[in-house]
Structure 1
Amino acid sequence: MKIGRNEKCWCGSGKKFKHCHYGREKEQPFSKGEAIGASKKIGARKCCYVPEELKGECDKKIINAHTISKSGSLKEIADTTNHVLGLKIDLANLFKHKGKLVPERMGINQASTFTGFCAKHDKELFSCIEDQEFCGSERQLHALMYRSVAKELYAKEGSLLSSELLKAGDRGKHQIDQLFIQKFAADNQLGIDAAQKELSELKGKLDEQLLGKASNNLSHLIMKAKSPIPVAVSSIVSPVSDFEGNLIQDLGDLSVPAESLVFNSFSSDGKGYVVFSWLKESSKVLGFINTLLAIDRDNIFSALVRFFFGVSENTFISPVWWDGLETSQKDKIQELIMAGVNPFEFEPKELLVDDGIIFTGWDVGDITKVNF
């Protein structure tokens, strides 16, 4: 296909061909150093995710806000040197491990942080879960959900910037490779755009509740145990399949809004908690939750391990618990971590199904349903 120099470029950038892909195959290839530098810049973005009405009250200090309480949760599972195990999600680390994500030691000051709130609003919004014993109050449940959604929105906005970075990866490539890279980037961006829109709508509903403009329309499932949980997590997912292997929603169909589930596992006052939160109107998520509740209590922790590591990267592990695992258990967790990392592979529908590998270290006690 021949394109005139002054015609719009085939890649969809809106630029003229002569200012875009003309002669691209002769350009200097995008270097590893450039990619790492751009990735670090994207990861260093600073903002405050409070509602627009409150942004005028922000102070100038954007902090490394913890998505998982440092004092209550991370310290509970840390080793004697105040380190936990977690995934370091950055381009330099992916190059280091040849594309694999592996649990690594990190200090509790750095674990689970993102620059998504100013110091003033981080304190005001989350002191109810940072400085108070967890009791499952409406305010605490809202705060847990709000922080997880803000962190994921921050990540999705970063993914959009990374998608633009990916488009530059065809420099110095053959024209056929350019077509492939641009098509992949465009398809990837469509999915990110849809996910970001859905997250923004969810956060908008949480904003209205925060500001007292809307009544509570959230459902929660709270699991409690007498001991801290050795795996701490804060995340949000649109589940594809349930714990019985049933497909519940097709994320590839962008014409149908996906239903989201927020989940947190943490410790408070020496006790361990897992909290699931969702919009009450989300019937598919409720069906997902019911398949979890159908599992025998002795096997729920194993199901949670499969879920946490299979769908979330913002997961942190007690080094003592990890060191006590058998090789088959560690291999299973590594397999779960890598599930869904390859963009050319679909999430297996049996991802959460019991495969006979049992995990111990936390026994569910009380289970409370809120606003089902």
Structure 2
Amino acid sequence: MMNPKELKVRLNKVNEELRKKARISECFHHKKEECKGEIKLAHSIQRNGRLSIIEGDVNGNKSIYSFTEVDINLSSHQLELKPIGKAKASTFFGFCDYHDSTLFSPIENKMFDDSDKHCFLHCYRAFAHSQHMKIQQLKAFTSDAEFNKFQAFHLAGRIEGTKIGIANGERVRRRLEQLLDNEDYSGLEYFTIVYDQLFPIASSAAFTPKFAPKSNKKLNYSISSLETYEPVFFTVLPDFEQTIVIMGCLPEHKRSVQFIDEFDSLPSFQQNKVLSSILIGVVENTFIAPALYEALGDAGKRQLIKELEETSMFAPTIYKSLFKSNLNFFQPKYAATNLRIAYN
């Protein structure tokens, strides 16, 4: 039996092997003839001006925390979030140098203006990251990685489910490409919130909501290859004095429209709880500032790890309603000013 230190080394080795075997380097943009330069380690959330806002000092290094990066504390023998550098956060080998630079230049290092174009580009990038991750996931599941030995009983089902998700995503991808080619940035349904204070948290992803946030109606809850999943594009952007939340979906995706409409009808406190629940239990590309993580306290940290474990794709938990977190990241006490986060 391995001691905690040996287990930590083993888990890190297994995870690193899985990452290497899963890695795909390919430009997500459909006009391959335009591609120039190398495939970049692109950020789904821009590194400078967004992630740099929430980084803080951890053991003498500028770091942030990711909800997908955990480690074993050798003192408590408990899982905890592992600090990472912003250069590693939210990255994927998903765009060539040309498309990464030209396509997203309107939103890189520029103030969010709530225009259809800005919302569309954030939605497109969120979807690109999530679809790229699904394709990498399939490659990982079908590889000879040691990790797959630990999930052998469930592996066939997870491979099939991932294939269905990718196929559905490719249909969405083609629709987004049509809108992009026609510069029809109003072709999506959008919903935005702009908080007048900075909450040091960031996310960019696409998710298929299983339940509506108010009526609790089932929306996307099937493993049938005949079922068409309807994603919501989701972004949380930290700014120096505000926090921006963007949701979007295709207008023909009535279940996603219902999710957004019901979310819009909730009082602000419930919206904050639903957002926190999405960030923890639904999407897999969430980052928080060290100051926020420390402000949770020991009990809050344990609750966060518990919820991350319970909502993991590898967990047996089956929810009959929308997952509801016990945490709320959008309380005033977690605003940057109250966390004493200072920026130059």
Return the TM-score normalized by structure 2: 0.80
Determine whether 1:85 maps to 2:65.
yes
- Counterpart of 1:76 in structure 2 is 53
Paired position in structure 2 for 1:21: none
1:65 aligns with 2:38: no
Q: For residue 322 of structure 1, give the secondary structure of its aligned residue in structure 2.
A: helix
- Larger deviation, residues 339-348 vs 114-123: 339-348
Structure 1 distance, partners of 2:209, 2:225, is 15
The amino acid that maps onto 1:135 is D
CA RMSD of aligned residues (A): 3.1
Q: How far 1:232 moved relative to its partner? A: 0.5
Alignment match, 2:110: 132
Which string of whole-angstrom CA distances, capped at 9 and with x for unpartnered residues, describes residues 105-157 of structure 1?
11111111111111221111111111321112222112111111111121111
8 Å CA contact 1:229–1:273 kept in 2: the answer is: no
- Answer with 284-293 or 301-310: which moved more: 284-293
Aligned equivalent of 1:266, options 230, 233, 237: 237
Say whether the 8 Å CA contact 1:114–1:151 is kept in structure 2.
yes
Indicate the structure (1 or 2) with the bigger Cα radius of gyration: 1
Q: TM-score, normalised by structure 1?
A: 0.75
SS at 1:275 equivalent = strand
Code of the aligned partner of 1:307:
I
1:45 corresponds to: 24
CA–CA distance in structure 1, aligned partners of residues 116 and 79 of structure 2: 36
**Matched residue type, 2:25:** K
Output the CA distance in 1 between the equivalents of 2:11 and 2:294.
34
Give the aligned residue type for 2:110.
Q
Contact map agreement 2:41 2:92 (CA 8 A) in 1? yes
**Secondary structure in structure 2 of the residue aligned to 1:129:** coil
Cα shift at 1:214: 6.4
Tell me, yes or no, if the aligned pair for 2:22 and 2:140 is still in contact at 8 Å. Answer: no
Structure 2 counterparts to residues 283-302 of structure 1, below 5 A: 283-302=254-273
Call closer, same or farther: CA 1:324–1:61 in 2, change over 3 Å: same
CA contact (8 A) 2:18 2:147 kept: no
Look up the SS of the partner of 1:128 in the other structure: coil
Give me the whole-angstrom Cα distance separating, in 2, the residues matched to 1:109 and 1:32.
23
- Render the CA deviation track for 1:63-112: whole Å, top value 9, x for unaligned: 2111112122211111155311114559xx69x9xxx9742211111111
Deviation at 1:36, TM superposition (A): 5.3
**Aligned with 1:107 (options 75, 78, 85):** 85
Query: Is 2:211 the counterpart of 1:241?
Result: yes
User: 1:306 aligned to 2:284?
Assistant: no
Partner of 1:198: 168
Corresponding residue SS for 2:312: coil
Paired position in structure 2 for 1:369: none
SS at match of 1:251: coil
The percentage of aligned residue pairs carrying the same residue is: 21
| Corresponding residue of 2:119 | 141
Determine if contact 1:75/1:82 at 8 Å carries over to the other structure. Answer: no
Q: Gaps spanning 5+ residues in structure 1: where?
A: 1-30, 172-176, 364-372
Deviations 1:195-227 (A, max 9, x none): 001111111111111111868431010000122
Letter in 2 for 1:123: S
Among residues 199, 203, 220, which one is paired with 1:229 in the alignment?
Answer: 199
Query: 1:156 aligns to what SS in structure 2?
Result: helix
SS of the residue corresponding to residue 26 of structure 2 reads coil
Structure 1 residue 38 displacement after superposition: 4.7
Give the 3 Å change call, closer, same or farther, for CA 37–268 of structure 1 in structure 2: closer
Greater shift in the superposed pair: 222-231 or 325-334: 325-334
Match of residue 281, structure 1, among 252, 258, 262? 252
Paired position in structure 2 for 1:4: none
Match of 1:348 in 2: 319
Distance 2:323 2:232 in 1: 15
Change in CA separation of 1:119 and 1:270 when aligned onto 2, cut-off 3 Å: farther
Are the aligned partners of 1:101 and 1:337 in contact in 2 as well (CA < 8 Å)?
no
